[in-house]
Structure 1
Amino acid sequence: MAVHEALRSAPARRKTGARHPANPGAVFPAMEGKIRSLSGRSLIAVMCIGQVGNLLPHVTLSANLAQHLMPAWGLSAAEGGLMASGYAFGYMLAVPVLTTLTDRIDARLVLLWGSIVSGLATAAFGMFAQGFWSGTAIWSLAGLGFAGAYMPGLKALTDRLPAGDTSRAVTLYTSSFSVGVGLSFLVAQLIADRWGWRTAFLVTGFGPVAMVGACLLIDPRRPVPKAGRLLNFAPVFANREALGYILGYGAHCFELYGIRTWLVGFWTFVVAHQGAPAWLSPVVLSFCFAVISMPASILGNEAALKFGRHRAITIVMIASACVALVIGLNATAPAWLLALLLLLYGLTVPADSGALTAGMSAAAASEHRGATLALHSTVGFGLSAVGAWGTGAALDAAGGPQSATGWLLAFIVLAAGIALGPLALLWARSGADGGRKRTIKRAGLERL
């Protein structure tokens, strides 16, 4: 499939006497060689490592919600889900401005400050959160910081790559998300079980330091100046192909954030009712669930490149909905069977992620790439918030986290959410086909 050329902004040109040098190597001479060497594979590797660090705080709350925070603060499943949704809500509020801003200033600067805010807010949760309201407020601030870190990081990466490298680079970057989430699950639970949940937040808050370091190692790039309003999404809404991928990404995020928020809670239910080997703890299962997402996302994108994005994504989404329903209907099955089903779910849930983001990036007009990324993230994380809260509300409505019926309804909600993705792609494809037919018809009339 053709991949549209990514924005490649010329290096920033400073006027004589400018207060900030164009090359950070001028300030840090020892770093100059390293900065120049960061291109191609080395740039992708550094950005992926920074991304993993930025994600260390990502599920610290979800990992400790069912076992630590809900009992400590007396929260219902809906309240716990809403508090977890605060992260996605803060992200959703900030990402339109911060990502669209990367069409006007170097995405590296947005990435740098977003990473700093994310880390500080995570540490602040460990120090100051005292209940539902303070926890939700602080966690929303952490999500706001991450809004300046995830998609601006993708923009900072694609701005520095030739067009032919963007599809696989985007997939590697989005797939490293899974490694970061896996480490977040692992580190947050191990530290909380040993030293308490507050320490877990303090430690994971240091993760974004990795991306701060990455920002200092990449060269500055300033986008070509453009006129018009900052938050101008009209061209994005007019791009039906990109919009289809964006809506599909929203369905993906609904399912992904819903299961990530409640995975530990579900496995805690399984262990309490069916029993499980000591080694198959919530820590191990959640880590494996997250880590296998990376190869799943990469393979999903490769399949999309080979067989067509719409076809591959649709098959993955339908398969994921089916697996969710099977898990919900068998919530009281033996632990070994549920573990296998969850690992299968861990493959289907993220397998469409890289293809959706790469498809959106390819379909975006180069001059509106920042705005397209902004809407992509806004829709995705907005529905992430709905997914975490909606799954918790379903649990409460059908008996709570200790009820098999509650988990059945929760997985039905997840299946229904992802099932909307193929409908969005079908809508986008039908519009594109209609547009092509009208173009051909007009061309024929003009020849007459």
Structure 2
Amino acid sequence: MDKSAIFAVFFARILLYTPFFTVAGCIPVLIEEWKISATQASFIVSGFFLTYAFSLLGFSWLSDQIGAKRSVSISALVTALTCTAFAFCAKDFTTTLIFYGLIGLSQGGVYTPLIVLFRENTPAPYLGTAIGWLVASTSIGYAASIALTGLSVGISGWRLAFLTTGLPPMVGAVILLVAIKAVPNVVLQKVPGNGLWQELRGNDSARQLLGGYTAHNWELLGLWAWAPALLTASYVVTGETTAIATQLSAHFITLLHLVGAVAAYTMGRLSDRFGRRTILIWVTSIATGFSFSVGWLVELTPYVVAGFVIVYSFFAIGDSPVLTTATAERIEPSCLGAVFAVRSLSGFLAGAISPVVVGSVIDVLRAGDYNDTLVWGMAISTLGFGGLMAVLFATRLPDHPRN
């Protein structure tokens, strides 16, 4: 793919991902206005991640059957429709759970099949950089999601937030379809005796990368789901109302995801230069340290808390393009889609569970009338167990592509 097509995909995915953190950005307001618990709020977010996991599974499998380009096209069109439905029809816990889940079910094809499309059409020396751009567009889409949510909540509440984040994917879908129009649709022939399970059994790199991605998602998606509420809690401690605190935290969460885009591009490029395994070990180790410490800082000034959370997120997402590039390089092309399907399912199942674990810890400790430091310190520390496993899988990754 040439640079103009890559940048068009980059911009399209920003628009397609604007609903991704709408509910997470609204959690404090929704808890107050809908009279729901933190666990119930986290169920909406986790329901989205769960359906997204199955969407990634389905579209990754589909890309092996009908080609990556067709899978991307189908997903983009369905995403535009479901996001529009969410914008106009989600109005309470039940309808939001349903329509937000449908968005997750439709979006998988604008991620993993696009990785396959990049692998098929990008020279190997530049693959890490290209996938870095792809992951960076996701982070900027997340930033746009949080920014629009925070701005809308401040102006008119959650209803406007659902509208302003649910409508841009229609435009994004059109741009993406135009960007990949000239790219060929390739359906690879299966290699006899080299299916999914044979690949996982015989390729140690595949197993370690699969485990590493699953652990990575536990930590990263749990952080992203609860970082807005953590910063909101920090502002509330200083005396701000929940609505104002939510709006203020949104500014920092927007910056968090913009910095995440820099991390994705930077780490992807560094891994081209210094090797995938080396970068993975460093970034996972640093992120794990933050997982076990940042929640305990909630009662410090919000600006200090926000700074630590932003740096934390930089390293928590830094391994994402490296894991993805290493997987694309070390897997037999004819079953790459199937491996991405299994990876996506395991990763986003973990990412669906971890926010509920965090929310449950918060509810249990608040019921016991514990202070905010203990509540948030213990809750966010649960993400560190995923980080520890990510470090373990990174250290066990073979130096050579296939082992």
TM-score by length of 1: 0.81
1:275 is displaced (CA, Å) by 5.4
Give yes or no for the alignment of 1:270 onto 2:234: yes
- 1:399 aligned partner: 366
- 2:198 aligned partner: 235
Cα distance between partner residues in 1 of 2:322 and 2:263: 11
1:275–1:335 CA contact under 8 A, matched in 2: no
Aligned residue among 356, 367, 389 for 2:356: 389
- 2:83 aligned partner: 122
Give yes or no for the alignment of 1:302 onto 2:269: yes
- 1:94 aligned partner: 55
- 1:63 aligned partner: 25
Cα distance between partner residues in 2 of 1:398 and 1:236: 44
2:51–2:105 CA contact under 8 A, matched in 1: yes
1:123–1:204 CA contact under 8 A, matched in 2: no
Within 5 A, what are the aligned runs for 1:334-353?
334-353=301-320
Higher Cα Rg: structure 1 or 2?
1
Amino acid at match of 1:261: A
1:113 is displaced (CA, Å) by 2.3
In structure 1, the gaps of 5 or more residues are 1-38, 437-448
- 1:77 aligned partner: 38
Of 387-396 and 157-166, more deviation after overlay is shown by 157-166
Structure having the higher helix fraction is 2
Aligned residue among 2, 14, 37 for 1:52: 14
Give yes or no for the alignment of 1:43 onto 2:10: no
Name the SS for the 2:366 alignment partner: coil
1:256 is displaced (CA, Å) by 1.5
Aligned residue among 334, 355, 379 for 1:410: 379
Cα distance between partner residues in 1 of 2:295 and 2:235: 16
Within 5 A, what are the aligned runs for 1:157-236?
157-208=118-169, 209-218=171-180, 219-224=182-187, 226=189, 233-236=196-199
1:399–1:405 CA contact under 8 A, matched in 2: no
Cα distance between partner residues in 1 of 2:64 and 2:14: 25
- Per-residue CA distance 1:76-98 (angstroms, 9 max, x = gap): 11111111011111111232221
Q: Report the number of matched residues.
A: 394
Within 5 A, what are the aligned runs for 1:126-145?
126-145=87-106
1:423 is displaced (CA, Å) by 1.6
Of 170-179 and 211-220, more deviation after overlay is shown by 211-220
Within 5 A, what are the aligned runs for 1:93-112?
93-112=54-73
Amino acid at match of 1:366: P
Name the SS for the 2:293 alignment partner: helix
- Per-residue CA distance 1:200-227 (angstroms, 9 max, x = gap): 2223222222233221342252324535
1:301 is displaced (CA, Å) by 2.6
1:118–1:205 CA contact under 8 A, matched in 2: no
Name the SS for the 2:317 alignment partner: coil
Cα distance between partner residues in 2 of 1:189 and 1:174: 23
- 1:35 aligned partner: none
1:61 is displaced (CA, Å) by 1.2
Q: 1:412 to 1:217 in 2, by over 3 A?
A: closer
Q: 1:217 to 1:339 in 2, by over 3 A?
A: closer
- Per-residue CA distance 1:28-50 (angstroms, 9 max, x = gap): xxxxxxxxxxx421121111111
- 1:285 aligned partner: 252
Of 320-329 and 166-175, more deviation after overlay is shown by 320-329
1:244–1:427 CA contact under 8 A, matched in 2: yes
In structure 2, the gaps of 5 or more residues are none
TM-score by length of 2: 0.89
- Per-residue CA distance 1:157-178 (angstroms, 9 max, x = gap): 3333333332211111112211
Cα distance between partner residues in 1 of 2:225 and 2:40: 12
Task: Give RMSD over aligned pairs.
Answer: 2.7
- Per-residue CA distance 1:222-253 (angstroms, 9 max, x = gap): 32453599xx6313422220221222122221
Cα distance between partner residues in 2 of 1:127 and 1:281: 26
Cα distance between partner residues in 1 of 2:199 and 2:34: 43
1:289 is displaced (CA, Å) by 0.9
2:206–2:327 CA contact under 8 A, matched in 1: yes
- 2:286 aligned partner: 319
- 1:252 aligned partner: 216
- 2:225 aligned partner: 261
1:427 is displaced (CA, Å) by 4.0
Cα distance between partner residues in 1 of 2:119 and 2:274: 24
Cα distance between partner residues in 1 of 2:66 and 2:273: 36
Q: 1:175 to 1:422 in 2, by over 3 A?
A: same
Cα distance between partner residues in 1 of 2:168 and 2:68: 20
Cα distance between partner residues in 1 of 2:191 and 2:48: 30
